């Protein structure tokens, strides 16, 4: 069986270091970083998200537009990488000034939580700007015709299935192993049973499930997710539940039971128990206080416009953005804290 420490450490090295090596092969350092760590290089802000076709990339485009409108002379470069696991390190090292991140994952990174890719390597310069901009779920997606109805079926039957995930550095990549581990297995076990595990782009994963060239996609899900919405509209799929025992095991990572309401996607008529978390916007202590203030203000005060443009942000409530529940205890950036206090939200 795959051990927690083995996959956490090995994937951590591949996801971020490999990503940066690949990028430096085709881009200059200034193009990667989008400027200095303060985010003030020629008014540029590099905003790390995820690949095109993901909800986060769409968030980046719409949030970036609001920031540009609010801060004169600022240009936001939306980076189509590197996801929930890679983004905290990109921000911590100054390769990006701000990023989308899951609040729980940011807490793993800030604290160097045991059993995660950040174990014993805390990124304690991370700071929160805006928490709770959406509700995300993490769950298994399969073609409706797949010969299993639960992850227990796969593990108990030692089925050699083909699994896809979002790219290296995303929560989809790491989370696939986390979820399987909660059932007593891992991607190495799947491969030993004759199956395969392939981290790839969101678009490729979507197509693979739709064309039945893959059997399972354990994925971060939000209402209106562009890839999954398209997949559900064009193919027959099923979303498998996360068992109570697996939810209990995943609680070690700050993940909690969350119910995906019936009707969120075509063909998903019933409520499904998954695990849940929310997206946040993060920065580091290197981002100057005034810029952090203005970015936070721009996002919070455009909440309605952002929700209109992104179905996943329909529940964004700025009154909760600075709460411990939405920030997972990650400290607020001083500039963000100043804004929340002035706005009467803290």
Look at residue 202 in the predicted model and tell me its pLDDT.
85
Residues 227 and 318 in one domain: no
Residues 156 and 257 in one domain: yes
Residues 131 and 143 in one domain: no
Look at residue 53 in the predicted model and tell me its pLDDT.
84
Please spell the DSSP secondary structure of 209-262, one letter per residue: HHTTS-SEEEEEE-TT-HHHHHHHHHS-EEEPPPPHHHHHHHGGGT-EEEEE-T
Look at residue 17 in the predicted model and tell me its pLDDT.
36
Among 231, 259, 276, the domain-final residue is 276
Dihedral of CA atoms 256, 257, 263, 269 in degrees, nearest 10, equals: 150
Look at residue 226 in the predicted model and tell me its pLDDT.
85
Residues 148 and 126 in one domain: no
Cα gap 172→195, rounded to integer Å: 18
Residues 153 and 164 in one domain: yes
Here the CATH number for the domain that contains residue 212 is: 3.40.190.10
Residues 131 and 175 in one domain: no
Residues 49 and 130 in one domain: yes
Q: Which residues pair with 142 in a beta bridge?
A: 238
Look at residue 171 in the predicted model and tell me its pLDDT.
82
Task: Kindly report the backbone phi and psi dihedral angles of residue 164, in degrees, each rounded to the nearest multiple of 5, phi listed first.
Answer: -115, 160
Task: Kindly report the backbone phi and psi dihedral angles of residue 340, in degrees, each rounded to the nearest multiple of 5, phi listed first.
Answer: -60, -40
- Residue 29 CA, chain-centre distance (Å), reads 25
How many domains is the chain partitioned into structurally?
2
Residues 272 and 286 in one domain: no
Among 276, 294, 311, the domain-final residue is 276
CA distances from 294 to 108, 117, 180, 196, 340 (A): 27, 32, 41, 46, 11
Residues 283 and 264 in one domain: no
Residues 145 and 128 in one domain: no
Among 240, 258, 276, the domain-final residue is 276
Residues 120 and 220 in one domain: no
Identify the domain containing residue 13 by its residue range.
4-135+278-342
Look at residue 41 in the predicted model and tell me its pLDDT.
40
Residues 245 and 304 in one domain: no
Place of tokens 């981290």: 199
- Block means of pLDDT (10 residues each) for the chain, 346 residues, are 41 36 33 36 83 92 97 96 92 98 96 93 98 94 97 97 87 89 95 96 92 95 88 96 96 91 94 95 98 98 96 94 95 98 97
Give the predicted TM-score (pTM) of the model.
Answer: 0.79
Cα gap 59→307, rounded to integer Å: 10
Cα gap 37→172, rounded to integer Å: 27
Tokens of 153: 């079926």
């Amino acid at each position: 069986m795959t051990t927690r420490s083995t996959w956490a450490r090995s994937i951590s090295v591949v996801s971020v270091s490999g990503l940066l090596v690949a990028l430096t092969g085709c881009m200059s350092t200034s193009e990667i970083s989008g400027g200095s760590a303060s985010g003030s290089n020629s008014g540029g802000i590099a905003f790390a998200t995820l690949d095109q076709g993901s909800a986060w990339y769409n968030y980046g485009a719409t949030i970036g537009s609001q920031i540009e409108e609010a801060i004169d002379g600022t240009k936001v470069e939306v980076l189509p990488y590197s996801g929930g696991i890679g983004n905290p390190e990109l921000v911590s090292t100054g390769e990006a000034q701000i990023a989308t991140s899951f609040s729980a994952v940011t807490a793993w990174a800030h604290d160097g939580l045991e059993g995660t890719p950040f174990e014993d390597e805390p990124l304690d310069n991370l700071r929160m700007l805006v928490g709770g901009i959406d509700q995300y779920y993490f769950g298994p997606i399969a073609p409706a015709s797949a010969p299993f109805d639960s992850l227990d079926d796969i593990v108990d039957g030692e089925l050699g299935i083909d699994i896809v995930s979002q790219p290296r550095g995303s929560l989809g990549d790491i989370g696939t192993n986390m979820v399987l581990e909660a059932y007593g297995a891992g991607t190495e076990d799947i491969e030993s049973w004759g199956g395969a595990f392939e981290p790839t782009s969101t678009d490729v994963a979507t197509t693979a499930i739709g064309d039945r060239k893959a059997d399972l996609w354990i994925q971060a899900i939000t209402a209106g997710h562009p890839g999954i919405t398209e997949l559900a509209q064009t193919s027959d799929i099923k979303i498998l539940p996360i068992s109570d025992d697996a939810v209990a095991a995943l609680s070690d990572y700050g993940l909690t039971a969350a119910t995906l309401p019936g009707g969120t996607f075509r063909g998903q008529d019933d409520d499904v128990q998954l695990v849940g978390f929310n997206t946040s916007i993060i920065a580091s202590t290197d981002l100057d206080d005034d810029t952090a203030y203005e970015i936070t203000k721009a996002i919070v005060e455009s909440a309605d416009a952002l929700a209109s443009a992104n179905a996943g942000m329909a529940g964004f409530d700025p009154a909760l953005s600075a709460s411990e529940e939405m920030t997972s205890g990650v400290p607020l950036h001083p500039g963000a804290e100043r804004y929340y206090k002035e706005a009467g939200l803290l």
